Structure 1
């Protein structure tokens, strides 16, 4: 990378990837993760914890990211592996995709207190999405990608309100489940869905 996109977090030299996932709690849809690498001169304006950044700003930030990769684990993988292992799988895929573009990172910084099995040095940082710029960027990218995916799924499967609830177990979603039953995008290993199926 000719030194153009080295990690900006203090204490590290070499490429630093920030990683975060979204979508562990919903009853439907994939879990998605992103890996991001920021240049010191190109940290997006307004970057912060993705949960507190307005939607339009998130979309603008995601579009401005030059070095980012998004990956997912499917509903089938969530049901087979469990949601924690599936979210780690999505993280590993995102990091591998970004490393294929940029080269191996010197450090991978992950939001949370657990580490997936990366092939690179890694460190877990609790509340990293609120304190580490590259993790915050990854969180924004993953959220924007997953929100878009749920909007697409809502178009094909109306009645659950996925365009607005993103697959979470809101009153609107639960009413849709009661009326329509689960479909192929619902996580059968999650209690509200398994109870309906049984």
Structure 2
């Protein structure tokens, strides 16, 4: 289970950062930044991938009530313009800027899931598999995942062909079949294969 071992080595306030949505064919990439409270941290925080949707919802709502939270969102058209790597870095930067504004002070240190850092002025440490190790990063993973899933479920009402309510934009069999039958929507990432291949085939 994630712990506060890494947080205790850092200058406070410590911000955990994670993202959701690097791999899908449609929708935004979402990053979240979280400063956990000194007391009253919700129980059950873990890597969002290890939690059920109901558990993520419960913890998302608890964290929104007790932690300082920031979210950064980069939409599909900007992902195509920047590429997914730089779009993810931008989303993380937006999230940390938002949490700094919400907290009223600059972060003491930022813990980032992964092995790369955005180009920013914050003192920071990348942690591979950080969402399984750091409690702050795990909390951020929950916020990012729930936020992005909610966005995609909302878009599913406007674009029902693609089954985003269940696949959240990832390239599963039903999503790929809908792409071939109906073509891409305005929310698809045109730089991503197989979306890009559809344009080549026209």
What range is the shorter-chain TM-score in?
over 0.9
1:41 to 34, 39, 42: 39
In the alignment, structure 1 residue 83 sits paired with structure 2 residue 84 = yes
Q: Is the contact made by 1:18 and 1:37 (CA closer than 8 Å) also made in structure 2? A: yes
Structure 1: stretches of 5+ with no match in the other structure? 1-6
Distance 2:42 2:148 in 1: 20
Alignment of 1:35-184 (within 5 A): 35-65=33-63, 66-102=67-103, 103-184=105-186
- CA offset at residue 54 of structure 1? 1.0
- Give the structure 2 partner of residue 28 of structure 1: 26
- Alpha-carbon distance, 1:131 to partner: 0.5
How many equivalent pairs are there?
192
Unaligned runs of 5+ in 2: none
Inter-partner Cα distance in structure 1 for 2:55 and 2:74: 26
Which residue matches 1:19? 17
How many angstroms apart in 1 are the aligned matches of 2:143 and 2:96?
13
| Offset at residue 163 of structure 1 (A) | 0.6
Cα RMSD for the two superposed structures: 1.2
Deviations 1:147-170 (A, max 9, x none): 000001100111101011010000
Q: Is the 8 A contact 2:69 2:102 kept in 1?
A: no
Scaled by the length of structure 1, the TM-score of the pair is: 0.94
Deviation (angstroms), 1:118: 2.2
SS at match of 2:45: coil
Q: Taking structure 2 as the reference length, what is the TM-score of the superposition?
A: 0.92
Q: Distance in 2 between matches of 1:146 and 1:110?
A: 18
Q: Please list every run of at least 4 consecutive aligned residues from structure 1 whose deviation after the TM superposition is greater than 3 angstroms.
A: none
1:99-144: CA deviations, max 9, x gaps?
A: 0111101100000000001221011001100010010000000000
Alpha-carbon separation, structure 2, partners of 1:40 and 1:176? 47
